C-alpha cells in the first residue's frame, strides 16, 4: 500500500487500474476527462494493461461498454452530466442486458442553463434505469467504491452495471491523501472476471437482448432485474464487510455520523455531506444533539438502514442537491417513502441547496438545525425551502442590472443609428 495525493478523478482511475479492467470505452466530458486521460497515459506507458477506445458519443460508449461486457470481458467507463443523459437510452438497455460493468459518473448540473459545477440531477435521472448507484464523499471512497462496485456488479445474484458517483470539481479536482492498496491484494479482492453465461463464441452461439412480445415476458424480465437489484442490498453488506476485513476501511450502505444519541439529523449524499459533518461537530459543541445520515447506496435503496437511523428522532432535514421540477427534492421523496408507515417517525423537512455547485455555508446548516428545533417544538412540518442567501440575490440582481443596461444601450444605439 502507498499513500498518494489524488484527485477524485485520479482515485477513480486507480480504481479501474487495480480492478484489472480489460476494456475502457471512453468519451471526454468535463469534469470527468482527467479519468480517461490518466488511464490513456498509463496504457501508453505500459503501466496498465487494457484496451481503451474513444467512441464518438456517450450513447455509443455505453453501447460498446455493454456489448463488450456481453462478450465476456471486464469493462470500465466514465462520464458526466450531459454525457450520461445522451447515453440514457443505453443505460436502460445495458441494465436489461445484465452486463456487470462499472461506470464513474462525475456529477455536474444539467443544461439549461449549461454549467460545469455539480449537482445530482444527472445521476438521479438514471435512478430508474437498473444501474446500481454508489455515492462517494471522499477521494478514498471513490477508489474503494470502484473496487467494491465490481464485486457487487459481478456477483452471481446481482449481475447489473454499477454507477460510482462523485461530485465534479469539489471531489473530481480536489486532492486528498488516498491509500492506494497494492495490486495483488486488490486482484485477490476483486477476483478474476467470470462472464458466466454471457459471451459470444463460435462454439456456443447465443442471442442476447432479443425482443419480447407482450407484457407477460416483458414483465418477467423487468421483475427479474428489479429483484436482482434488491438482492444487491445484502450482497453490498457482505462486500463492505469483506472490504473492511481486507483493507481496514468500512463503507456501509448508509453512513451514520454522531447519530446514536441524536434528536435531529441532516440527510445528504456525496461530498457536500462533509460540510454537513463539519456543521454537526460545531452544533454539537453548542449542545445541539444532531447527526448526519449519508446514504452511499441510492440503488438499491437501503430503506431498512434509513428507517433504523431515522425513526425515533425528533426532526430530520433532507438536503437535496437536486430539484425535481414541480415536486421538489428527490432524496426527500425517497426518504419519506422509506419512513411512511413506520412507528415514531420524525418530522421530515426538505431543503434544496448546492445546485450547480452553489455552496452550502455553515451558517445555512445552523439555520436548518434551528428550523428543525422549531418544527419539533411546534410539532409541524416546515414548508420546503430553496436555499438562497441575500448576498447571492444581490449578486444576481447586479448581473441582471448589467444585462438591462447593455440591452438598453444596444436599443438606444440602434435607434440613433450608431451601430
- Residues forming contacts to another protein in the complex (CB under 8 A) are 22-23, 25, 51, 53, 55-57, 59-61, 63-73, 89-90, 93, 200-203, 205-213, 217
| Closest to 275 measured CA to CA, from 389, 360, 391 | 360
Q: Which SS3 state, helix, strand or coil, does residue 136 take? A: coil
Contacts of 7 (CB under 8 A, 6+ apart): 34, 139, 171, 172, 173, 174, 175
| Residue with Cβ nearer another protein (129 or 172) | 129
C-beta of 194: minimal distance to another protein in Å? 11
C-beta of 80: minimal distance to another protein in Å? 19
C-beta of 57: minimal distance to another protein in Å? 6
| Residue with Cβ nearer another protein (72 or 252) | 72
- Which residues make beta-bridge pairs with 265? 291, 316
| Residue with Cβ nearer another protein (59 or 120) | 59
Which phi-psi region, left, alpha or beta, contains residue 27 (left: φ > 0; alpha: ψ -120 to 50)? beta
| Residue with Cβ nearer another protein (200 or 388) | 200
How far CA 195 is from CA of 20, 226, 229, 293, 379, in Å, comes to: 14, 20, 18, 36, 54
How far is residue 195's CA from residue 69's CA, in Å, rounded to a whole number?
A: 8
How far is residue 125's CA from residue 197's CA, in Å, rounded to a whole number?
A: 30
| Residue with Cβ nearer another protein (51 or 397) | 51
| Residue with Cβ nearer another protein (59 or 313) | 59
286, exposed or middle or buried, with CB in 10 Å at 0-12, 13-18, 19+? exposed
How far is residue 111's CA from residue 418's CA, in Å, rounded to a whole number?
A: 36
C-beta of 183: minimal distance to another protein in Å? 17
C-beta of 417: minimal distance to another protein in Å? 42
| Residue with Cβ nearer another protein (53 or 227) | 53
| Residue with Cβ nearer another protein (22 or 263) | 22
How far is residue 252's CA from residue 297's CA, in Å, rounded to a whole number?
A: 9
C-beta of 414: minimal distance to another protein in Å? 39
Cell numbers for 416: 440613433
* Phi, psi dihedral angles at 74 (to 5 degrees): -85, 130
How far is residue 63's CA from residue 92's CA, in Å, rounded to a whole number?
A: 11
How far is residue 158's CA from residue 156's CA, in Å, rounded to a whole number?
A: 6
Amino acid at each position: 500500500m502507498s499513500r498518494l495525493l489524488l484527485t477524485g478523478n485520479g482515485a477513480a482511475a486507480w480504481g479501474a487500474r487495480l480492478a484489472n479492467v480489460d476494456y475502457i470505452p471512453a468519451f471526454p466530458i468535463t469534469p470527468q476527462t482527467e479519468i480517461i486521460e490518466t488511464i490513456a497515459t498509463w496504457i501508453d506507458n505500459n503501466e496498465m494493461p487494457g484496451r481503451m477506445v474513444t467512441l464518438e458519443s456517450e450513447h455509443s460508449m455505453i453501447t460498446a461498454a455493454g456489448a463488450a461486457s456481453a462478450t465476456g470481458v471486464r469493462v470500465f467507463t466514465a462520464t458526466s452530466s450531459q454525457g450520461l443523459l445522451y447515453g440514457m437510452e443505453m443505460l436502460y438497455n445495458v441494465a436489461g442486458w445484465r452486463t456487470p460493468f462499472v461506470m464513474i459518473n462525475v456529477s455536474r448540473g444539467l443544461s439549461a442553463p449549461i454549467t460545469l459545477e455539480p449537482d445530482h440531477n444527472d445521476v438521479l435521472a438514471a435512478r430508474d434505469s437498473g444501474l446500481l448507484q454508489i455515492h462517494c464523499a471522499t477521494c478514498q471512497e471513490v477508489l474503494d467504491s470502484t473496487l467494491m462496485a465490481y464485486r457487487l456488479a459481478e456477483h452471481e445474484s446481482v449481475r447489473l452495471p454499477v454507477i460510482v458517483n462523485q461530485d465534479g470539481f469539489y471531489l473530481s479536482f480536489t486532492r486528498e491523501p488516498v491509500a492506494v492498496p497494492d495490486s495483488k491484494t486488490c486482484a485477490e479482492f476483486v477476483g478474476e472476471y467470470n462472464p458466466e453465461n454471457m459471451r459470444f463464441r463460435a462454439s456456443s452461439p447465443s442471442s442476447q437482448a432479443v425482443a419480447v412480445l407482450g407484457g407477460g415476458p416483458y414483465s418477467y424480465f423487468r421483475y427479474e432485474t428489479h429483484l436482482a437489484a434488491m438482492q444487491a442490498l445484502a450482497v453490498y453488506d457482505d462486500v463492505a464487510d469483506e472490504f473492511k476485513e481486507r483493507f481496514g476501511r468500512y463503507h456501509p450502505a448508509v453512513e451514520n455520523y454522531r447519530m446514536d444519541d441524536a434528536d435531529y439529523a441532516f440527510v445528504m449524499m456525496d461530498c457536500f455531506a462533509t460540510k454537513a459533518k463539519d456543521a454537526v461537530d460545531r452544533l454539537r459543541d453548542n449542545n445541539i444533539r444532531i447527526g448526519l445520515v449519508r446514504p452511499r447506496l441510492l440503488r438499491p435503496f437501503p430503506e431498512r438502514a434509513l428507517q433504523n437511523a431515522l425513526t425515533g428522532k425528533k426532526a430530520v432535514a433532507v438536503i437535496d442537491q437536486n430539484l425535481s421540477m414541480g415536486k421538489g427534492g428527490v432524496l426527500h421523496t425517497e426518504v419519506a417513502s422509506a419512513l411512511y408507515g413506520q412507528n415514531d417517525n420524525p418530522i421530515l423537512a426538505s431543503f434544496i441547496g448546492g445546485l450547480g455547485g452553489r455552496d452550502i455555508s455553515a451558517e445555512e446548516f445552523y439555520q436548518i438545525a434551528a428550523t428543525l428545533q422549531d418544527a419539533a417544538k411546534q410539532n409541524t412540518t416546515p414548508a420546503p425551502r430553496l436555499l438562497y442567501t441575500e448576498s447571492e440575490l444581490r449578486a444576481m440582481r447586479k448581473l441582471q442590472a448589467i444585462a438591462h443596461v447593455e440591452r438598453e444601450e444596444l436599443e438606444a444605439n440602434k435607434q440613433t443609428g450608431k451601430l
